[in-house]
Structure 1
Amino acid sequence: MTMHPFQPQPAVTLAEVWRLLVEHPGDPDLLNSLGVLLDREGKREAALLQYRRALAVAPDHAVAWSNLALVLAMRGRHARAIACAHVAVALAPDNPTTCLNLTAALYRSGDFASDLTVLDRLVRLQPDNPSLTWGRAQVRLHQGDYARGFVDYEGRYWLREYHYRIHRGPRWDGGPLDGRFVMVTLEQGFGDTLLMARYLPMLKARGARRVIVELRDELRRLFAPMDGVDAFIAENAAPTPIYHVHSSIMSLPLHFGTTIDSVPPPVRLSVPDEARAKAARLLGPEDGRLKVGIVWSGSAAFTDNAIRATSLERFLRFAGIPGVRLYSLQKGPPEEELRALPPGTPITALGPELDDFADTAAVVEQLDLVVMTDSSVAHLAGSLGVPVWVLLQHVPYWVYGMSGATTPWYPSMRLYRQGPEEEWEPVFDAVERDLRALAARRAAALSEPCCNP
């Protein structure tokens, strides 16, 4: 769920705020603006200081209380964050953003019952505010209320943050397609495309004559061919092929009436033979050890990646487990952490060799296990049916819910969760314990003598 802090005027820069503070020291509005700008740069402790300075001067400054709540929530100090958010609402009960920030603080804490109560009231008062409907969608989906959650999820189209292309013509409403051409459009990340691809082969059963799907190049070799899809086209292709109705891929669960008890199985992916041959060369011959892939970060462009990701250093403990061999599947800037390791660290870096998701899929399907924080590779491994242990932040993506070690979306997935304290150490302790046990069982099985009948 997106946090919604108050923002200073777009023309105000950090340098300008500092200059104005020289002329007007102790101005609470300037101190609040300084806090927002520092928070934008990731300097949250510095932002906290400025909000507190503003409140020392003006204890009734609702904006500063609300912004203070958001930064505290992002720092995992949930009880204090919620208390500050309540103060902001008490000072400015008619301000929609203070109310929205209260729901954000409740959401970050995982108090969905209280959050839903507040959101229901706000939606009644402001039925045309898409941020409220979107926030309620996140809560309902986390709670497994897919029937109402996916209805609210449609509110994303009216968010100011929604930057995906809106196609012309009628949207499919989930009814019979009766021989029509359907265009399925993309939004959000690679993991979301892998997650929702399970619905693509189902469109023909609804009567679609032709199914056209937008697809990013990185997934093309893995998706084509796919049962039930007639053509894949580039995202935002122009001119657009002929179609009668269109649907975002993220709206398909709603149109197919998905409930938590009727989640379809993952899509069947096509791993090319040449990718499998390449993967076999990269992984080398079998030596009896567990082949374990690791990923510690998703895309840094994702707003909450700093919360869901961790560091390579935390995974190094697994390299010391007897009978385990680690392979890094990490891509992007976090790969730099591998280059900083001492020579001889027993991790094979495969990221530079993986050109697309077909290459990654070919490696993943030949591994015994993938251990990772949440990112697109988790959806890939889950779609392939490969065992994958996903290490989750306290309030994860809605697909994972808030409790339990499993998700109906991926039967091969096992979930390890942070507690409310948002500490990674207990999560890694649990994973290390289970990985040691798995490696020991593998070693015991290999040591048993073969018996001829």
Structure 2
Amino acid sequence: MNPDQNIIPILKLALRYHREGNLDYAKYVYQHVLGIDSRNADAMHLLGVSVYQSEQYDIAVSLITEAIQIDPTKPLFFTNLGNAFQKQGELEKSTQAYQKAIQLQPSYVDAHYNLGNVFQKQGELEKSTQAYQKAIQLQPDYADAYFNLGNSLREQGKLEESTRALQKAIQLQPDYADAYFNLGNSLREQGKLEESTHALRKAIQLQPDYADAHFNLAVLLLLQGDFVEGWEKYEWRWNSSLKSQKRDFKRPLWDGSALDGKSILIYAEQGFGDSIQFVRYIDLFPDADSSIIVACEPELKSLFKGIDRIDTLVTKGEDIPNFDFHVPIVSLPYIFNTTLDTIPARIPYLYPKPTADSVFHLGGSDDLKVGIVWAGSPTHINDSNRSVSLKDFKCLLDVEGCQFFSLQVGQRSVDIRQHGYNYMIKDLGKQLTDFHHTALAILQLDLVISVDTAVAHLAGSLGKPVWTLLPFIPDWRWMLSRSDTPWYPSMTLFRQKERGDWYSVFQEIRLALTLYSG
């Protein structure tokens, strides 16, 4: 009898174990086959696949590579090698493996699909789109390919095409919760908020514990001014993609009940702007005999020292005193049942105290002193939409009766020199070592013009006139349509009327500044 004929039933047994999810049994039988025939490519490959499914990716790469050396003609081997490389983060090697699979079998749908996934991870969005479209051409009912095509198109800003692809994925697979979720996001970015809300609610209906869908729905509701359901759903963030920011303490989470003289830790969780915006809630704590501990970013510590109700301030790396309860700062609006009419709006609520190194030489001119900020943190998820080029500000710099001062810090502060604007803008950036110093600088100015950054929040918290530039679909806290905000009475909002159109915004600001300085 041919030895291969003896191996075939054993391989079939291994495959049965494998398909049933009994990986340990499957591995044992594959190894038994290799003990009979060490050059059995199928057994070597399938052993590699089972190891891959056990998340032992280095070993999987080694085994599947060995299978390919035995038999380099099988596209499936190269596809699974590409999968293992992808898990290792070896995206270039993964790309090469998928391309080899396609070379061997041009009609191999999964190879085209997986190649699209790698291109998307590499930021090669046009290539990923082409790969997904090829997979769809070969298999028109491939819902996952339509889904990822929609995601790739959305990343390219092709929102209408993205919407159509995601709708097609849903048509093919009506219970596709992830497709409804991403459809909701795409529709939101187009300003189709009612349709976006419907899509996110459908995702939740299909998958009730879909934390990211609950959280994104919260953002959408808050954007539309629905604070009641919005704040409630915002608490889903701790189970969403933001859960890594959650801090685990042995003490109980505060639910708004009376503190009765006990201590509470309030801690920052997201960005500087969130901490500045929501630190106002500390004034609402009714128990004067209770101790309030605040854990904040180091850059905010000196600024928050001026808040009388805070008993102890700590930053990262410092020991936290014992406390009885804890609460993340962005949960305070929910706990205090905040509505549009009950936003704490006692302005100012931050009182920075002058220091010896906080003297800013702004000149003795009677001109309007205008501070500007054109970029936020480059790591912010929405930075590409909310930050602008310093060149966009150029149309303001010749408005008569105005002097301009840069409050920009970080890597974008060099833009002044790079664009040759040194003679038009006085750079204060090197003196702004923390938000306390930035606040003191703002107090010496007449007006701040800023994109949506922590500096805009800071100026608003100080009661200084501040003009904030907003993208077409802004962060939830600025809501929609209105030019004012209940969070900061001294703030005026200048909004994009069309996605990506900053030119019109700056023309509107130029006119307003001309009138303001006159």
TM-score, structure 2 length as denominator?
0.78
Matched, 1:158 2:235: no
User: How far off its partner does 1:235 sit?
Assistant: 3.4
**129, 138, 143: which one aligns with 2:210:** 129
Residue 79 of structure 2: aligned partner = none
User: How far off its partner does 1:50 sit?
Assistant: 3.7
Structure having the higher Rg: 2
User: How far off its partner does 1:309 sit?
Assistant: 0.9
Residue 3 of structure 1: aligned partner = none
Segment of structure 1 superposing worse, 100-109 or 369-378: 100-109
Alignment of 1:344-359 (within 5 A): 345-359=423-437
Provide, for residues 346-384 of structure 1, a one-character-per-residue CA deviation record: whole Å limited to 9, x for no partner: 111111221110111111111111112111101001101
Residue 326 of structure 1: aligned partner = 404
Distance (Å, rounded) in 2 between the aligned partners of 1:14 and 1:177: 53
**160, 167, 170: which one aligns with 1:89:** 170
Residue 37 of structure 2: aligned partner = none
In the superposition, relative to structure 1, how do residues 267 and 155 fare at CA in structure 2: closer, same or farther (>3 Å)? farther
- The structure with the greater share of residues assigned to helix is 2
Distance (Å, rounded) in 2 between the aligned partners of 1:22 and 1:75: 23
Residue 344 of structure 2: aligned partner = 264
Residue 13 of structure 1: aligned partner = 90
Distance (Å, rounded) in 2 between the aligned partners of 1:431 and 1:103: 32
3-state DSSP of counterpart to 2:275: helix
Residue 278 of structure 2: aligned partner = 196
3-state DSSP of counterpart to 2:141: coil
Residue 423 of structure 1: aligned partner = 501
Alignment of 1:249-260 (within 5 A): 249-260=329-340
Distance (Å, rounded) in 2 between the aligned partners of 1:312 and 1:40: 30
Matched, 1:209 2:286: no
- Structure with greater contact order relative to length (CA < 8 Å, sep ≥ 6): 1
Mapped contact 1:70–1:104 kept (Cα < 8 A):
no
Count of residue pairs brought into register by the alignment = 428
User: How far off its partner does 1:43 sit?
Assistant: 4.3
User: How far off its partner does 1:406 sit?
Assistant: 1.0
User: How far off its partner does 1:415 sit?
Assistant: 0.8
3-state DSSP of counterpart to 2:137: helix
Task: State the Cα RMSD in Å.
Answer: 2.2
Structure 1: gaps spanning 5 or more residues: 1-7, 442-453
Alignment of 1:20-419 (within 5 A): 20-25=97-102, 26=106, 27-164=108-245, 165-203=247-285, 205-206=286-287, 209-235=290-316, 237-238=318-319, 240-265=320-345, 266=347, 268-274=349-355, 278-281=358-361, 283-285=362-364, 287-342=365-420, 345-419=423-497
Provide, for residues 324-354 of structure 1, a one-character-per-residue CA deviation record: whole Å limited to 9, x for no partner: 2211111111123223123754111111221
Residue 9 of structure 2: aligned partner = none
Segment of structure 1 superposing worse, 156-165 or 390-399: 156-165
3-state DSSP of counterpart to 1:163: helix
TM-score, structure 1 length as denominator?
0.88
3-state DSSP of counterpart to 1:303: coil
In the superposition, relative to structure 1, how do residues 38 and 368 fare at CA in structure 2: closer, same or farther (>3 Å)? farther
Distance (Å, rounded) in 2 between the aligned partners of 1:389 and 1:404: 13
Segment of structure 1 superposing worse, 396-405 or 97-106: 97-106
Distance (Å, rounded) in 2 between the aligned partners of 1:288 and 1:42: 50
Distance (Å, rounded) in 2 between the aligned partners of 1:328 and 1:344: 10
3-state DSSP of counterpart to 1:173: coil
In the alignment, residue 194 of structure 1 is paired with which amino acid?
A: I
User: How far off its partner does 1:80 sit?
Assistant: 2.3
In the superposition, relative to structure 1, how do residues 214 and 322 fare at CA in structure 2: closer, same or farther (>3 Å)? same
Distance (Å, rounded) in 1 between the aligned partners of 2:289 and 2:180: 44
Distance (Å, rounded) in 1 between the aligned partners of 2:110 and 2:515: 57
User: How far off its partner does 1:45 sit?
Assistant: 3.9
